[in-house]
Structure 1
Amino acid sequence: MDFRIDFYCVNIMGSIRKNNEDNFYALGRYRRQDETDNDIAIKGSFSSSDNQILAVYDGMGGENCGEVASLMAACGTEKYCGNVFDSVVTLNDLCSSLNNEIFDYANSNNLGCVGTTAALLLFSDKIYACNLGDSRVYKISNNFIDQISMDHSMPAPKRRKAPLTQFLGLSEDEIQLSPFITQGEYNVGDKYLICSDGITDLIDESEILKIITVNSSIETATDMLVSLAIQRGGIDNITIIMCDIR
C-alpha cells in the first residue's frame, strides 16, 4: 500500500543568536548560503514509494563553522534520496559520507572541532529514523508521544549544555561513528516530529503532545511550538519538521 506523507518545515533564528547554525533537508530544499537572515517555512507532500528523506541538522563549532557543517550535511543528503535498496545501509552510508566530508573540511582548514547533529526520517517500505547527537525524532500516535531517536550526550555540567558523544564531523581514528537507527510501520493518522534542541530545551514532551493532539493541522501545531519556544526566550535556533501519514 502506498502512503502519502504531508510535511511542514520551519527554520528560524533564535532570539539571542547572531547566526543560524541550523539547517534541514526536505524535497531538495534547505537553507542556502544566501538565506542566512531569512526565516523559512515550507510545506509539501510525497509518496512512501518515493524513498524520500526529511532531516534536521544543528551545527556546532563557533563563528560560521557550525552553519557550514549543517549546510554541507543538508547539501549532501539529496543524493541518497530516491533509489533506496536497503534503508539501513543507505542511512549508514549517508552518515559516513557526511561525517568524512565535514571532518576533512575542518581538518584541511585547521578549524578544530566542527560538526553538526543529525536527525532523519527515511520513508521507504517502512519508516526509518536515524540520529546522531541531541536533535530528536518523535512519533505521535493514539494520544501518545514516543522519542524514537536516542540522545548521544554525556551528563550535563551544572548550568551548561551536555557535551555530545556522537555527531557528524567526528575523527573516526578517535571515536567510531555510530548512528542510532530504528524502523517502524506506516499507520494512517500517525504524526512524526523532527526538531533541533531549540524546541526540546524549552518545551517538554507532554506540552508537545498536547499541542499536536489539540491541533489537527500540522501547520498550526508547528507554528504554535515555534511561538512557544520564542516566548520562552528563543535561546537557540529552531528547526522543526512535522509529518502526517495519510
Structure 2
Amino acid sequence: MQPVFVSLNGTLQQAEKMSPQPDFDVAGGSHVGRKRVENQDHFLVADLHRQLEIIETDVPHDQCTELYGSPLGRLMVVADGMGGHADGELASNAAVQACARYVLDMTDWFLKLSAANEDDFKRELTDALTEVQKSLFENSSPNSTRMGTTVTMAYIVWPRLYVVHAGDSRCYLLRGGDMQQLTTDHTLAQKLLDDEAITAEQAATSKWRHVLWNCVGGSKERVETEVIKTYLEPGDTVLLCSDGLSGMLSDEQIGDVVRHASSSREASEQLIRQANEAGGLDNISVIVAQYSPRTNQSFTPAPVDNPSTADTVVD
C-alpha cells in the first residue's frame, strides 16, 4: 500500500511566524473497561530532548541544564491490540515500544526540520509504521498470525502537529468550541460511508463499524499509513483515544468533558469514567494534551481548513 498524506492547513513558513510555545499540560490513562477480562490497549507520552552530558567544567551549572535542554518535540501514542487472548496485548505493547525506538532514532530530524526537507520528514514518518509492522512479524509466533494493533501517533514540534495513523483509534483537535477528528477510521463501515453506500446513521450501527481493513500486523504484509499535518495555536487541545472511548461517547460529549475540566489529568479521568458509565464495552485509552491560551493579542494563527476540503496526495 502507498502512504497517504493529508495536509490540513497552511505552510511551514506561516508556522515560523507563530508565537513561542505556550505552557503544556498532558495526561493519559487506560482502563480495561467493564466487559473485557484484560486490557489490550497501551499508550505512551514522551518528550524528546536535546541532551548534554558535561564531563568537566569550572562553570557553575544546574543538574537540569547538564542533562536536558528544552524539549525538541513531544510524542504521544495510542495502540489498541487485537487477536484474542494475549496476542492483542503483545501487539500493542510491541507497537508502542517500536514507535518509541523509531522516533528516538529520528531525533536529528527535529533539529534540522525546515520547509526544504519537510516532505522527506513526512516520508520518514510513513516508515515508522512499516518498522512497527516488521517488528510485529519478527516477534510473533506461528500461532499468532492474526495478531495486530491500531496505532495512532502524534508528533508535536511546536507549532506543527504530525499524526501517523492506521486503524480506528483517533486523534482529535479541539479549538475553541470546535472539535475536529483529524484521522480517518480505517473500518469497512467508514469505507461504505465514504463510497456513499450507507448513511452516517447506518454507519453508526453497522456490523462493519468495528471491522478494520487496515491496521499494523494482522493478516496483511503491508500497512497503509495515513499522515496528517496541521498547525497548533495556543489554547488548542490534542486528544488521542482508542475506540473504547469514541465508541461509548459522542464527539460532543468528549469535547464537553475536555472544555470543562480544570486539567488534562481531570479530563482523561472523567472521560474514562464516563465511558465506563456508558457501558465500558471495550478497553479505554485516552491522552489529553492541552496548550495554555495565548496572552499576546498580536498573535496571528494559521488558518485550519475543513478536513473535507483538505488536499490528499497519494504517492
Tell me, yes or no, whether TM beats 0.5: yes
Q: CA deviation at 1:234?
A: 0.9
Alpha-carbon displacement from aligned partner over 1:60-83 (angstroms, at most 9, x marks no partner): 000000000001011112221433
CA contact (8 A) 1:133 1:152 kept: yes
User: In structure 1, what is the equivalent of residue 211 of structure 2?
Assistant: 163
Structure 1 residue ranges, 4+ long, deviating more than 6 angstroms after superposition: none
Q: Is 1:71 equivalent to 2:93 in the alignment? A: yes
CA contact (8 A) 1:51 1:83 kept: no
For residues 40-55 of structure 1, the aligned pairs below 5 Å read 49-55=71-77
Amino acid at match of 1:240: V
CA contact (8 A) 2:187 2:208 kept: no
Alpha-carbon displacement from aligned partner over 1:130-189 (angstroms, at most 9, x marks no partner): 21110000000011000001110102785565310111115555xx42111111112011
User: In structure 2, what is the equivalent of residue 120 of structure 1?
Assistant: 153
After TM superposition, the score normalised by the length of structure 1 is 0.83
State the SS of the aligned residue for 1:9.
Answer: strand
Highest Rg: 1 or 2?
Answer: 2
Distance 1:237 1:50 in 2: 32
Amino acid at match of 1:111: S
Distance 2:267 2:39 in 1: 22
User: In structure 1, what is the equivalent of residue 179 of structure 2?
Assistant: 145
User: In structure 2, what is the equivalent of residue 34 of structure 1?
Assistant: none
CA contact (8 A) 2:32 2:38 kept: yes
State the SS of the aligned residue for 1:27.
Answer: strand
Unaligned runs of 5+ in 2: 1-19, 48-67, 114-119, 190-202, 293-315
CA contact (8 A) 2:168 2:242 kept: yes
Relative contact order (alpha carbons < 8 A, sep ≥ 6): 1 or 2 greater?
2
Alpha-carbon displacement from aligned partner over 1:29-87 (angstroms, at most 9, x marks no partner): xxxxxxxxxxxxxxxxx998523310000000000000000010111122214333554
Distance 1:92 1:68 in 2: 22
CA contact (8 A) 2:80 2:242 kept: yes
User: In structure 2, what is the equivalent of residue 134 of structure 1?
Assistant: 168
Distance 2:125 2:22 in 1: 21
CA contact (8 A) 2:149 2:218 kept: no
Q: Is 1:193 equivalent to 2:239 in the alignment? A: yes
Unaligned runs of 5+ in 1: 29-45
For residues 1-246 of structure 1, the aligned pairs below 5 Å read 1-27=20-46, 49-79=71-101, 80-81=103-104, 82-84=107-109, 85=113, 87-106=121-140, 108-124=141-157, 126-155=160-189, 159=207, 161-170=209-218, 173=221, 176-246=222-292
- Of all paired residues, the percent bearing the same amino acid is 26
RMSD of aligned Cα (Å): 2.3
Q: CA deviation at 1:89?
A: 2.7
CA shift in 2, pair 1:169/1:25, >3 Å: same
Distance 1:19 1:233 in 2: 16
Amino acid at match of 1:22: D
Which sits farther off after the overlay, 124-133 or 203-212? Answer: 124-133
Total equivalences in the alignment: 226
State the SS of the aligned residue for 1:83.
Answer: helix
Alpha-carbon displacement from aligned partner over 1:101-126 (angstroms, at most 9, x marks no partner): 112333x4332211000111101251
Amino acid at match of 2:215: F
State the SS of the aligned residue for 1:97.
Answer: helix
